[in-house]
């Protein structure tokens, strides 16, 4: 890879200047305290990866009811804010930029993870044919309650609280997680959303929650520091849609009109090299900053940017094992092997101990 590759050219993304186009994708690592406060070792983990054009945090729940997996972080209490502030300060001191991904899992949860053993909430009262990770290991998700009008208002208010907390914690911006079968996606896709009210039926109704969340959180951060993540072809967590091209065309156009910092698209999932014709058909409907994700390497990422398909690319698993990934791509160096046994949960092993090209990890 040439040092003159377009991957290493700076670019402006909304209100944030990026020194390169090699961005770090959100990566769930299940290493927070049980109350959702990031552990001190997360400061090292994120700072090691500060050479990314921009870091997106692991998915971070906006409320106790938004939690779906063991030992994932939150962004709604003072302790969580303090924990994340240490991380953002460390990343900024290392020259990096970091956005917080705001997450509500919806029905992809289990009563044992929620306050007072409550049921999860969703667009529907139908359980997902999916599992989540609890203190007992992998368990089937619990049957959810369909959010009523008051519950939807509460969820939107929780997004605002989380956005305010992210601002206090010193993040450069936020990403609204509307992908991968979590709460907002459960409203967007008609294979799950079976409502007959103002949030169900037509695509205009089904994207209403996303619109109202964006109305609320852009009042906190501004549109130019707010991004959205979507997975138009995603079937993760028991998702499906009858006509993704038509329905996501409407979503793309709605988001395009909002002049957000970016749109972040999961174009494919690990192990699924599915047809990208829908992704290509959707692409012209978003004229702003576009971040591609899914199955890219240095060459295909540069090709996507050179062709005009993307402005930047997020890399997930490569950043787990290679804290200096941009420099490795710049030099054409070999990548460290990944230890999948340490992806989820544990301590520093497989988290902060992957070697750099030139210097040992901190």
Burial class (CB in 10 A: 0-12, 13-18, 19+), 223: middle
**Residue 262 annotated among the catalytic residues of the structure:** no
Neighbouring C-alpha atoms within 13 Å toward the C-beta of 41: 15
Taking Cα atoms as reference points, which of 27, 18, 47, 51 lies closest to residue 327? 51
Contact status, residue 184 vs residue 158, Cβ threshold 8 Å:
no
Q: Would you put residue 146 in left (φ > 0), alpha (ψ -120 to 50) or beta?
A: beta
With vertex at residue 294, the alpha carbon angle to CA 288 and CA 300, rounded to the nearest 5 degrees, is: 80
With vertex at residue 291, the alpha carbon angle to CA 290 and CA 296, rounded to the nearest 5 degrees, is: 135
Q: What is each CA distance from 362 to 49, 109, 302, 351, in whole angstroms?
A: 12, 35, 30, 11
CB count within 10 Å of CB 136 equals: 9
Of 69, 182, 252, 290, the active-site residue reads: 182
* Catalytically active residues, by annotation: 182
């Amino acid at each position: 890879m040439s040092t003159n590759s377009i991957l290493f050219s700076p670019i402006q993304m909304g209100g944030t200047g990026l020194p390169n186009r090699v961005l770090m994708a959100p990566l769930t690592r299940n290493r927070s305290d049980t109350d959702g406060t990031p552990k001190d070792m997360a400061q090292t983990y994120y700072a090691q990866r500060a050479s990314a054009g921009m870091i997106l945090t692991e998915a971070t729940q906006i409320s106790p009811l938004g939690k779906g997996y063991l030992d994932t972080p939150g962004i709604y209490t003072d302790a969580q804010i303090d924990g994340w502030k240490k991380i953002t300060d460390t990343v900024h001191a290392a020259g990096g930029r970091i956005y917080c991904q705001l997450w509500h899992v919806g029905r992809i949860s289990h009563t044992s993870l929620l306050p007072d053993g409550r049921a999860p909430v969703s667009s529907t009262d139908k359980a997902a044919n999916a599992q989540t990770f609890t203190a007992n290991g992998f368990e089937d998700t619990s049957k959810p309650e369909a959010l009523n009008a008051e519950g939807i208002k509460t969820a939107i208010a929780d997004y605002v609280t989380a956005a305010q907390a992210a601002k206090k914690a010193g993040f450069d911006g936020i990403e609204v997680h509307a992908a991968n079968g979590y709460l907002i996606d459960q409203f967007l896709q008609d294979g799950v959303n079976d409502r007959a009210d103002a949030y169900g039926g037509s695509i205009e109704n089904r994207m209403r929650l996303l619109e109202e969340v964006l109305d609320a959180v852009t009042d906190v951060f501004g549109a130019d520091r707010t991004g959205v993540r979507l997975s138009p072809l995603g079937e993760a967590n028991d998702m499906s849609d009858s006509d993704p091209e038509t329905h996501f065309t409407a979503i793309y156009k709605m988001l395009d009109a909002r002049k957000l910092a970016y749109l972040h698209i999961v174009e494919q999932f690990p192990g699924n090299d599915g047809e990208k014709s829908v992704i290509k058909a959707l692409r012209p409907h978003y004229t702003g900053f576009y971040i591609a994700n899914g199955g890219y390497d240095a060459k295909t990422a540069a090709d996507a940017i050179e062709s005009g398909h993307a402005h930047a690319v997020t890399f997930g698993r490569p950043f787990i094992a290679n804290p200096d990934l941009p420099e490795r791509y710049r030099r054409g160096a070999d990548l460290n092997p990944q230890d999948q046994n340490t992806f989820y949960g544990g301590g520093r092993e497989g988290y902060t101990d992957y070697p750099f090209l030139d210097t040992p990890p901190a």
